[in-house]
Amino acid sequence: MKTQYYTATSIDGYLADEDSSLDWLFQFGEIEGIEGVNDDYSRFVEQVGALAMGSTTYEWIVEHENLLEHPEKWSYEAPTWVFSTRELPAVEGADIHFVQGDVAPVHADMVKATEGKNVWLVGGGDLVGQFYDQGLLDEVILSVAPVTLASGAPLLPRRITSPPLKLTNVEQRGDVFAVLIYEVQRSTES
């Protein structure tokens, strides 16, 4: 079982632009049409037993997919934990748990729910950073798009230098994406 951060990012490390838009990513059309991307995503999702996301990510998904009007479009079969200090609308029929506070006890509940599968940290970057801070992040999987945004929502707003992440795999997807997989190293200092 791993806790993984799987996301798309610009070369300069942003998830969304300064207007919280993903148009920079959607310009590539159907991501599934890019060689290997759909297979990567399908294999990844098959191994996911629970998801976590922040309120901004959740609200973007709800709005982008118009899920309050069309809850059948909720695409996640695994139980989902949404971290928020605000009250948010639930998607009818979706297995969603709204939570707040320390990520460690919530992570323990998520691990129990996975039945041996992985935990997917969908985003955003600050929430993923909280899992990192608690020593709960195992792997970072990045689909790097050939654009720079100069500002926006940062990929992972944490200083991670010692020990650095360990690159475990690099693959090219079409002529658009580089997929980088990093293992989170644990400090050996006590």
Residue 79 is part of which domain span? Answer: 3-13+36-173
Question: What span, in angstroms and rounded, lies between the C-alpha atoms of 77 and 96?
Answer: 10
Q: Assess if residue 180 is contained within a domain.
A: no
pLDDT band per the 50, 70, 90 thresholds, residue 30: low
Average pLDDT over residues 85-111: 96
pLDDT band per the 50, 70, 90 thresholds, residue 42: confident
Task: Say yes or no to pLDDT of 156 above 70.
Answer: yes
Task: Say yes or no to pLDDT of 33 above 90.
Answer: no
Q: Assess if residue 162 is contained within a domain.
A: yes
Average pLDDT over residues 179-185: 96
Task: Say yes or no to pLDDT of 65 above 70.
Answer: yes
Least confident window among 35-49, 53-67, 116-130: 35-49
Q: Can you give the pLDDT at residue 187?
A: 78
Q: Assess if residue 26 is contained within a domain.
A: no
CATH number, domain at 116? Answer: 3.40.430.10
Q: Can you give the pLDDT at residue 38?
A: 62
Q: Assess if residue 103 is contained within a domain.
A: yes
Half-sphere exposure of 63 (CA within 13 A, CB side): 10
Q: Can you give the pLDDT at residue 174?
A: 83
Average pLDDT over residues 32-61: 82
Q: Assess if residue 53 is contained within a domain.
A: yes
What is the share, in percent, of the chain residues with pLDDT greater than 70? 93
Task: Say yes or no to pLDDT of 189 above 90.
Answer: no
Q: Assess if residue 186 is contained within a domain.
A: no
SS (H, E, C) the chain: CCEEEEEEEECCCEEECCCCCCHHHHCCCCHHHCCCHHHHHHHHHHCEEEEEEEHHHHHHHHHHCCCCCCHHHCCCCCCEEEECCCCCCCCCCCCEEEECCCHHHHHHHHHHHHCCCEEEEEECHHHHHHHHHCCCCCEEEEEEECCCCCCCEECCCCCCCCCCCEEEEEEEECCCEEEEEEECCCCCCC
- Between 39 and 121, the higher pLDDT residue: 121
Q: Give per-residue pLDDT as tens, 115-142.
A: 999 999 998 999 999 999 999 999 999 9
Is the Cβ–Cβ distance between 60 and 122 less than 8 Å? Answer: no
* Pick from 155, 178, 153: nearest CA to 167: 178
Q: Assess if residue 23 is contained within a domain.
A: no
pTM flag (> 0.85):
yes
Question: Structural domain tally of the chain?
Answer: 1
Q: Assess if residue 19 is contained within a domain.
A: no
